[in-house]
Amino acid sequence: AVVSTQSTGPQSLKLASILSVTTRVTLQPHRMATRVKELPIRPASLHSSGLGNWSLKTSQSHILRSQCRCEAGPKCNHCVYSETLKIPDLPEMTFDRNMLTLTHVTSGCFIQFNTLDALKLVDASNDLIKVSYSEEWLAKRQDSSHIKNTPKPFDWTFSTAYTGTLTNSSSHKLSSSHTTEEPDQEKLRRRDKIHYHTELVMFEDELADNGSSKLVIKCRVMPTFILILLRHYLRVDKVMIRVQESRLYCEENWDYFLRDVTHREASFNDLKHLSSAVVYDEWAINEHLKLVRRELDRVDVVKI
């Protein structure tokens, strides 16, 4: 398990085949969007840490602005998200500047976890989970500034199979392959001093009071290893619970890292023997979900 502190942000979820009649507000192009005077954007809180061959940087800030702030300068993140993403709406709480980057120092290759890339993997064409609250959901989302005129279904639960964004350098690349190598369990169990740990919420949505969808990243830097957890928790009340996790582990002198990706899921009917306290606890429920898929990869830094 990954140790965590600091929490950022509220809750999450969305509803179903509602978009066939949706009226959504079209966001105007860059530099033509309505400009609204808001409080100045505060600088993101930055932190740097390192261990052997690896450096770790985190950025933490407030939620994405609801209006364009381009003025005469470069595109604001509001416009970047609106123009890049194909989904017609965003999670209620979208933390556009919360991110974590793990860099292999000598090569310059890195893996980054950021909200925009995570939302790119949300299905923009299919409503995969249908429930009976679609009209209620739509009524609560009419004023969203991210809603567009396109009357089409999409995955309103914001499910994403995101496992991080790999970036190569001019001289090296990150090469992924299946492996049977596991993290050192003895090191994971030891109660060594924690050099750094944090928790960043990437997005969160309550699905119009019909559940929760939350993407969070946690990390801890120990004396001999770095452990990162990216976790998407989805609960559609009275329907199902799904947890998709990507764990990244590397040691101080390694030129590679291990990535363990799991997908767990169960219907509410499968969980009816559990107490409500367990069912609605987003962490305690993990051990009661069925393992649907597991992939263990080794990502090596190799010279081009």
- How many C-beta atoms lie closer than 10 Å to residue 213's C-beta? 28
Q: At 66, phi and psi to the nearest 5?
A: -85, -10
pLDDT of residue 152: 59
pTM of the predicted model as reported, rounded to 2 decimal places: 0.80
Structure confidence at residue 139 (pLDDT)? 56
Q: What is the pLDDT of residue 39?
A: 54
Q: What is the mean pLDDT of each run of 10 residues along the chain (304 residues)?
A: 40 35 33 46 87 97 84 81 91 96 98 98 80 48 50 82 98 98 94 95 93 97 97 93 97 97 95 97 97 97 97
Per-residue pLDDT at 279: 97
pLDDT of residue 143: 59
196 forms bridges with which residues in the sheet?
A: 221
Gyration radius (Cα) of the chain, Å: 20
Q: What is the pLDDT of residue 142?
A: 59
Local structure of 46: helix, strand or coil: strand
